[in-house]
Structure 1
Amino acid sequence: MTRSVRKTAAVAALALFTSLMPVTALAKDSFSICWSIYVGWMPWDYGAQQKIVDKWADKYDIDIDVVQINDYVESINQYTAGAYDGCAMTNMDALTIPAAGGVDSTALIVGDFSNGNDGVVLKGADTLADIKGQDVNLVELSVSHYMLARGLESVGLSEKDLTVVNTSDADLVSAYTSDGVTAVATWNPLLSEITRMPNSHKVFDSSKIPGEIIDLMIVNTETLNANPNFGKALTGAWYEIMATMSADDDAGKAARTFMGQASGTDLAGYEAQLASTRMFYQPAEAVEFVNSAALKDTMQKVAEFSFDHGLLGEGAPDAGFIGIETPSGVYGNKGNIKLRFIPDYMAMAAEGKL
């Protein structure tokens, strides 16, 4: 997944566009979701190709179109503009694009969190504190940028103690090979490639902030509320896919091989990425995660980072401008809730009620 984010001006323009759109959510029987390539979202491709999504859609007498979009940010922008009913994205991007754009969105499925997929690498130094005073190449305003900020906190530093150099993910590996680049923050598979280079040391990664970089299936709240069968079909399909891909049998191996090849690697490469991803294969695990008070605390940290970097829009007076609803309470403005975490449909899957 290219986990880069758009410029604030683009968000403002999108927010204006969506604010002018008519807000209507009617009962319907045809839906579409979009996804982009990332270890935790390849199951959607598998589910579509193997007709698992179709099977669950048929159960509820609806149609669900599953569409791959090669540009991650563009997929979220299209969802925000109303072109799709759901989209795979991270928790931070859900807050800073659709929610900041005024689109009330719900995390229907909490699929996984990064557990080492994002990391900081130094050349010729082996502790994070050594990053002080260095230029750090990264995709600015990405979740890896957030991960770096959280890492700096752990060693008593802040972004004022270094210089962020915005670098495209397409250029990060080649940039790191030059003598002048000594520090990077990035994600897999780039992270693995860079750490294999001589004199490279991974000094911090997302496993040190477990549960903070979360991968989700976000759906339009009004569409979901008007069409609960849409949520049931998506959730049922997801956990059937999870059961298949997590199995230690030929079917599981075939599923993981398919996902690896579809994402540009092979079985070994895909399983290596899964090893640094905390997948919630069982719905009960995802329900427990969403119900935890830690989720609200995490979203406060994400909101504060987003506000500090101008990602909540020019009109946001503080980090709590957008309300974020979780089972343990609302962070931010209760009168402006635009992002919701619910366990409801995952709990139905856990209880065998789908």
Structure 2
Amino acid sequence: MRKLRFFASVVAAFAVLSSSPSFAAGRTDFKVCWTIYAGWMPWGEAKTQGIVSKWARKYGIHVDVVQLNDYVESINQYTAGKFDGCTMTNMDALTIPATGGVDSTALLVTDFSNGNDGVLIKGSGKKVADLKGQSINLVEFSVSHYLLARALETAGLSERDLKVVNTSDADISAAFATPAVKQAVTWNPMLADLKAKPNVTEVFDSSKIPGEIMDMMVVNTKTLHDNPALGKALTGAWFEMLALMQANSTASAEALNSMAKASGTDLAGFKSQLSTTELFYTPKAALAFATSANLPTTMTRVAKFSFDHGLLGQGAADANAVGMEFGNGVVVGNRNNIKLRFDPAYVRMAADGKL
């Protein structure tokens, strides 16, 4: 028995020195989380369909895909180390885990909001200028807050001209249903339900700022570095699920109906939400976006908004406090404090047929 233990320790030591980080890590079980949103419903369906398990088995690991009910709480749990990966937007990846000192990688930029986020005002014929002097409910410091700031710019207003009321995504629909709440910013599926109500005007939406609100699967950088099998399994599963959605078959119809039901709507409602979600259905499309010269420019704007709202931490001297690294070799912000990485390596593998 001692000889077997000695042999095992030699193998482990060799693995640490080898070029395969997955052996060094020695992990086979992983957990990632997601919350209800049109662009993230494929994660839940990929689990239900067994697609995630299939890709995990291919690389000798197990990946549990867990649905959580509160979006911000899901990111907090990821930041606390309870999950290896989590679905979140680009801004939230910067302002929560990255600012909190957790080195994170955007494994997949899955889509950008192209109308999936909107600013609503009760009443007909309303416009952004009508927000002046009003209170508006939204998830404070989220992309809803960012969208509001961009909307106000178009009307020559700023946040000083109104009052923001912090409301969780789980409570936004109930709040808007009360007479006291007349303005709100939210995302689908809540947005679709609320703007369909009588006498509600959508005065601004994310299609006016294409590519700025991104949805991503973010993974702990060290975990990904030590366990490339996780990156390969998640990437492979994601694109297989998206291919199924576009297959125009009985199986794809069943999958779409399943996702619609899980998101609290019918097939027509879900397809409507997908129409305002610029999903990257192919690895090549995702790769083109992830390596675009526009990406660092967009994240520079997001960093400035975040700094202006005190979201980069008390010690942040300016918008460059947190470094962000991109696949084309560009670094934005502090090179000595890189905590958010847009690494297209696994999407490139998928595009090249090497997964």
Q: TM-score, normalised by structure 1?
A: 0.88
Alignment-derived partner of residue 13 in structure 2: none
Alignment-derived partner of residue 231 in structure 1: 231
Alignment-derived partner of residue 87 in structure 2: 88
CA distance in 2, matches of 1:60, 1:102: 29
Alignment-derived partner of residue 101 in structure 1: 100
Alignment-derived partner of residue 250 in structure 2: 250
Shift, 1:179, TM fit: 5.1
For structure 1, the 5+ residue unaligned runs are 1-24
Alignment-derived partner of residue 351 in structure 2: 350
CA distance in 1, matches of 2:55, 2:157: 49
Do the aligned partners of residues 326 and 198 (structure 1) sit closer, same or farther apart at CA in structure 2, a change above 3 Å counting?
A: same
Alignment-derived partner of residue 241 in structure 1: 241
Do the aligned partners of residues 233 and 198 (structure 1) sit closer, same or farther apart at CA in structure 2, a change above 3 Å counting?
A: closer
Do the aligned partners of residues 237 and 178 (structure 1) sit closer, same or farther apart at CA in structure 2, a change above 3 Å counting?
A: closer
Alignment-derived partner of residue 153 in structure 1: 153
Alignment-derived partner of residue 8 in structure 2: none
- Over the matched positions of the two proteins, sequence identity in percent amounts to 62
Report SS of the residue matched to 1:157.
Answer: coil
| Counterpart code for 1:76 | I
Report SS of the residue matched to 1:111.
Answer: strand
| Counterpart code for 1:351 | D
| Counterpart code for 1:29 | T
Shift, 1:215, TM fit: 0.9
Q: Do 2:38 and 2:188's aligned partners in 1 also have CA atoms closer than 8 Å? A: no
What is the CA deviation profile of residues 150-204 of structure 1, one whole-angstrom value per residue up to 9, with x for unaligned ones?
Answer: 1112232211122223334455445445555443222223322332333322111
Alignment-derived partner of residue 138 in structure 2: 138
RMSD: 1.8
| Counterpart code for 2:150 | R
CA distance in 2, matches of 1:348, 1:260: 30
| Counterpart code for 1:268 | A
Q: Do 2:138 and 2:186's aligned partners in 1 also have CA atoms closer than 8 Å? A: yes
Alignment-derived partner of residue 16 in structure 2: none
Report SS of the residue matched to 1:198.
Answer: coil
Do the aligned partners of residues 224 and 123 (structure 1) sit closer, same or farther apart at CA in structure 2, a change above 3 Å counting?
A: same
What is the CA deviation profile of residues 215-266 of structure 1, one whole-angstrom value per residue up to 9, with x for unaligned ones?
Answer: 1111111111112122111111111111001222222111111111122222
The higher radius of gyration belongs to 2
Q: TM-score, normalised by structure 2?
A: 0.87
Alignment-derived partner of residue 31 in structure 2: 32
CA distance in 1, matches of 2:53, 2:224: 18
CA distance in 2, matches of 1:327, 1:51: 31
Do the aligned partners of residues 181 and 237 (structure 1) sit closer, same or farther apart at CA in structure 2, a change above 3 Å counting?
A: closer
Do the aligned partners of residues 174 and 236 (structure 1) sit closer, same or farther apart at CA in structure 2, a change above 3 Å counting?
A: closer
CA distance in 2, matches of 1:73, 1:168: 8
How many residues are paired up?
Answer: 330
Alignment-derived partner of residue 7 in structure 1: none
Shift, 1:28, TM fit: 2.3
Alignment-derived partner of residue 333 in structure 1: 334
